[in-house]
Chain A
């Protein structure tokens, strides 16, 4: 087992920890900053969700007025997506990807720090609308003409645009950094086809961010010009076109869905093999399926716009349904990994299994929505809200928690408490289903999304109440999680280098890893170098072809570098 001891050799300057964290360019510290920042925004946007659900629990306007309600669901969606899920997964990427590749840091450490610090700045700008006469209130999709200066005269929408542009810039810089790191910083022997699946998903995600986010930036700038400089991109009175916004937004917005889900799929694909005590079933198929999802994601944006009558339904419907195939391949990979595995139901494993089952439901309702006749019926109803929460929350957020429980020992050297983690999981899982499953039925019976009140005779009251109870259960489930984190910092079980008997290189160094990560690396001959190291060459004998090929590669790579 490779262990690492580093001692400072020359005079190390003593700085206060505040300055240290504010100026750090270490990918591990930046990763932790990302994750902490994301959870703070998660709590803020979660409180907004509770406000929405409380207002909707029973018919009648209880304590929010309509404008406040609009602001609440707009901020909830924007913050959850752009400042919680994406940055949280980027944070784990920041921390883990260089470790998994055997690299000392990201390719551009200072740009890495910049792309983090733009996030809290952008997030606070978006929120600061509340201080200046009301935040943006047009929904996170910000459809034209709701966003025109006529219907949204407040400065909140402008702050939303500026904040989102900063967050988008941060994402693009981060994507450049990830792709460069993955192509240029891999340790000797770490060929592309030996990279952990999490790294592959981060790579495809980064390509999607790189190509989709600038289009959103162009749209946001056009919107800003319309609102502030008398432009007419989206104003039909002077030759503009409001549907153009939908095209631009969803050209970004659908790849965005995969930006949110792919890294979570990567997390699950790391967690399942470790706790099934088996390699991932069908590594190459998983890689190609990930690439296929990335490619297809650019050809499906208009399925959000079926009811505009301005898009070619058969094409977009077909391409959307096609995405179910690579996604189905991944389901098969995961089930094949579990099949006859020696399952260990630890907390990260429970969240990974929760991901698979909840994401399956979200995926099935997604294929339903790909069919125009169904989509026409449930467009802008709670059915869509149920679908997107099963994908984003049941999928990505479960992935974020799986990653948190799985990599916490690596980051802080202590294991989170298992019983508390299981309490968290079960309340979370049951609360999630109570909150969002009834929304399918609400949508099918016609309840539109984004309404602040409904008719007591509509028959929606009971299901709305159930949903609100579920939302509060999710909030309650966060309490054992927070207690767990605090208690673990005070008196947690020491984790050691490799508490889970992992497969990948991050477990080959100390917990937490030293500056620049590794003093020495194990040989890399497969996508499970650490398994190779711990369990000897029996694994190699099963795959002699791979081994021969890998040794040639190694000699060649080293020869090239000497």
Chain B
């Protein structure tokens, strides 16, 4: 008892000072865990619909089609944006705010390009959300992924604005780390969505 480094009753408690992962990053990772379960639910509806339709072929409703080439380009854009995001994180870990600004701007541009491409894709497909269960699960899965890309883009915009105001440094940039983890998660979900809808035919 007497050997304590700081006996009881001297000064306020040291809470929220524990070493390890920053608190905000823990919160983000937990939130992502819940998002994984959310998309898990949506994927379950997709596979359930596929199983319910069998032995009928699993394909877009008559008059509609899927654009594999465009989807592949969008995939490349989003995967590339994950790399550019990570370059930004590595830059700010070195304290290089100029590079962080550049890479965040590029990531944001790629994200917006992805969203624009997805909307263009929607306009060309020739079927809608109410055209049978294929249309329903296709638009729900890709649409909710798109909404998450939009959320990530909002986060990136905030990061960009805060970078311009000089709020990040090599020691203090937990928001950049948190948004980058979220962005990688959105990218991974897209790889899952793309593989499920376009490759597992």
Interface residue? B5 (CB, 8 A): yes
- Determine the distance from Cα of A211 to Cα of B35 in the docked complex, in whole angstroms: 9
Q: Which of A505-535 contact B (CB under 8 A)?
A: 516, 518-523
Q: Which B residues are CB-close (under 8 A) to A188? A: 6, 13-14
Q: Which A residues are CB-close (under 8 A) to B4? A: 523, 551, 554-555
Indicate if the CB atoms of B23 and A519 lie closer than 8 Å. no
Which of these binds chain B: A30-38, A237-245, A335-343, A488-496? Answer: A237-245
> Do A233 and B137 form a contact, CB below 8 Å, given A241-B48, A561-B19?
yes
Q: Mark A174-212, 1 if CB is under 8 A from B, else 0.
A: 011101100111111000000000000000000000111
Q: Which A residues are CB-close (under 8 A) to B27? A: 107-108, 111, 176-177, 180
> Do A233 and B12 form a contact, CB below 8 Å, given A176-B34, A221-B144, A558-B5?
no
Interface residue? B103 (CB, 8 A): no
Indicate if the CB atoms of B30 and A231 lie closer than 8 Å. no
Q: Is the interface of A mostly helix, strand, loop or mixed?
A: helix
Identify the interface centre among B10, B30, B129, B140: most chain A CB within 10 Å of its CB.
Answer: B30
Indicate if the CB atoms of B129 and A229 lie closer than 8 Å. yes
- Determine the distance from Cα of A18 to Cα of B101 in the docked complex, in whole angstroms: 42
Identify the interface centre among B15, B56, B137, B140: most chain A CB within 10 Å of its CB.
Answer: B15
> B interface, how many residues as a size bin?
35 or more
Indicate if the CB atoms of B14 and A214 lie closer than 8 Å. no
Q: Mark A221-242, 1 if CB is under 8 A from B, else 0.
A: 1100110011111011011110
Indicate if the CB atoms of B5 and A244 lie closer than 8 Å. no
- Determine the distance from Cα of A176 to Cα of B33 in the docked complex, in whole angstroms: 10
Interface residue? A52 (CB, 8 A): no
A168 to chain B, nearest CB (A): 10
Which of these binds chain A: B39-47, B66-74, B112-120, B180-188? Answer: B39-47
Interface residue? A2 (CB, 8 A): yes
Q: Mark B63-89, 1 if CB is under 8 A from A, else 0.
A: 000000000000000000000000000
Interface residue? A219 (CB, 8 A): yes
Interface residue? A25 (CB, 8 A): no
The one of B20, B45, B129 in contact with A218, judged by C-beta atoms closer than 8 angstroms, is: B45
B16 to chain A, nearest CB (A): 5
The one of A217, A551, A561 in contact with B38, judged by C-beta atoms closer than 8 angstroms, is: A217
- Determine the distance from Cα of A561 to Cα of B134 in the docked complex, in whole angstroms: 55
Q: Which B residues are CB-close (under 8 A) to A212? A: 37
**Nearest residue in A to B44 (C-beta to C-beta)?**
A248
Indicate if the CB atoms of A518 and B12 lie closer than 8 Å. yes
Indicate if the CB atoms of B15 and A221 lie closer than 8 Å. no
Q: Which B residues are CB-close (under 8 A) to A236? A: 52
Q: Which B residues are CB-close (under 8 A) to A183? A: 26
The one of A221, A230, A558 in contact with B6, judged by C-beta atoms closer than 8 angstroms, is: A558
Indicate if the CB atoms of B38 and A240 lie closer than 8 Å. no
Indicate if the CB atoms of A187 and B13 lie closer than 8 Å. yes
Top-5 shortest CB links A-B: A230-B130, A218-B41, A239-B133, A214-B38, A231-B136
| CB pairs A–B below 8 angstroms (14 shown) | A176-B30, A177-B27, A184-B16, A185-B18, A217-B41, A218-B38, A218-B44, A221-B140, A222-B140, A230-B128, A551-B3, A554-B5, A561-B17, A561-B19
